[in-house]
């Protein structure tokens, strides 16, 4: 089980395709992982409703979601080598 105390951040990306590729690599190598998805367009408590006023004019819609993939601290080195192509 991966908890906040036993995990380490493997990668953070805004690219949906890249995070899917990484998740596939981890699954193929039996490395458990968790993923955190953050919607960067959602209103915050400090600026609720700003999107309604501004819309998406001039914004890069590819950077709407941030994907953070975590693995166990004990699996980090193996997972990092796999993701970075050091192990096939």
The tally of domains found in the chain comes to 1
Does residue 29 lie within any of the structural domains?
yes
Quote the pLDDT of residue 22. Answer: 96
Does residue 68 lie within any of the structural domains?
yes
CATH code assigned at 66: 3.30.70.790
> What confidence category does residue 39 fall into, taking pLDDT thresholds of 50, 70 and 90?
confident
Q: What angle do CA 86, 15, 58 make, to 5 degrees?
A: 145
Does residue 88 lie within any of the structural domains?
yes
Does residue 20 lie within any of the structural domains?
yes
> What confidence category does residue 69 fall into, taking pLDDT thresholds of 50, 70 and 90?
very high
* Domain limits for position 78: 1-44+61-88
> What confidence category does residue 81 fall into, taking pLDDT thresholds of 50, 70 and 90?
very high
Out of 29-38, 52-61, 67-76, pick the least confident: 52-61
Higher pLDDT, 77 or 86: 77
Contact at 8 Å (CB) between 79 and 10?
A: yes
């Amino acid at each position: 089980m991966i908890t906040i105390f036993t995990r380490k951040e493997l990668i953070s990306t805004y690219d949906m395709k890249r995070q899917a590729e990484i998740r596939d690599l981890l699954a193929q190598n039996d490395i458990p992982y968790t993923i955190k998805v953050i919607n960067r367009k959602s209103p915050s408590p400090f600026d609720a409703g700003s999107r309604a006023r501004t819309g998406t004019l001039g914004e890069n819609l590819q950077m709407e979601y941030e994907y953070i993939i975590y693995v166990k601290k004990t699996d980090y080195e193996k997972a990092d080598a796999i993701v970075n192509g050091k192990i096939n």
